[in-house]
Amino acid sequence: MLRVLIVDDEPLARIRLQQHLEKMPNMSIVGQATNGLEAVQSTVKYCPDIVLMDIRMPEMDGLEAAKVIAGMTLPPAVIFCTAFEDFALSAFDAQACAYLLKPVKYDELESAIERASRKTRAQIDHRPQSQRRHLCSRTHQGVDLIPVKKILLLQAEQKYVTAHLANSEAVLSDTLKEIEEEFPDIFVRVHRNALVARDAIEGLSFNDGHLQVSIRDISIQPVVSRRLESKLRHLLPEL
């Protein structure tokens, strides 16, 4: 079964691709995205085998997204589906497997997917079965992939979640709730606005009447909420 991600800012274009895919055997549409940033995030989250992607999109265009995706471990095959002929050279520079012009015809898409699938067999055999290995961070230079295993502390403030690493920090696209639900074996909640990596906890201490967590390699000591104190103390012998 081939896992396919559809990326296009035009709803009708996504519907057309979906209709084509539904007629093909052994196809599973794992998600849809409306811009390049969402494409990168969805690729990290769903590990598709093939990404069908437009080029001109808001937030981040398809070419930039394809370059980020190409740098991932076991990247999916990217097939560009666009209304513009003049991006072909740039598309293949971004390691695209095929370049189709809209309106995309069924036979052309089927042929492109068949060619792309030959390059993705190794990925299908080694596809991750559980959690993501990276989270996405949008920067002024594009998108960075943050290794989950290097994150020591996650803090939420207003609409943003900041990941603290030993020597850096990054603003993430995921919410604390999403991260907590996906990685319960890696992070533990200590406050409504903070998750801490379990293997980074060095101990607990009191400061101005508040219980705080000491974390390896960083100076930040998040406060433990009272409702979570007993749970955290119970976990400490296991950490």
Q: Per-residue confidence at 238, pLDDT binned at 50, 70, 90? A: low
Instruction: Note the pLDDT of residue 114.
Output: 92
Q: Is 30 helix (H, G, I), strand (E, B) or coil?
A: strand
More confident residue, 140 or 47: 47
Does position 35 have pLDDT exceeding 60, yes or no? yes
Query: Secondary structure of the chain: what % helix, strand, coil (to 5)?
Result: 35, 30, 30
- Which of 5-9, 98-102, 233-237 is modeled with the greatest confidence? 5-9
CA–CA dist 208, 70 (Å, integer): 49
Ranking 35-49, 57-71, 82-96, 127-141 by mean pLDDT, the lowest is: 127-141
CA–CA dist 15, 201 (Å, integer): 48
Strands (E), the chain: 2-7, 27-33, 50-53, 77-82, 98-101, 134-139, 142-147, 153-157, 160-164, 169-172, 187-191, 194-197, 201-207, 210-215
Break the chain into its structural domains and give their ranges.
2-125, 151-238
- What CATH number was assigned to the domain covering residues 151-238? 2.40.50.1020
Mean pLDDT over residues 94-110, rounded?
91
- What CATH number was assigned to the domain covering residues 2-125? 3.40.50.2300
Nearest to 220 by CA among 197, 186, 192: 197
Which amino acid, one-letter code, is at 34? T
Q: Per-residue confidence at 90, pLDDT binned at 50, 70, 90? A: confident
Instruction: Note the pLDDT of residue 233.
Output: 83
**Mean pLDDT across the chain, nearest whole number?**
89
CA–CA dist 93, 102 (Å, integer): 20
Do the beta carbons of residue 204 and residue 224 sit within 8 Å?
A: yes
Mean pLDDT over residues 106-130, rounded?
74
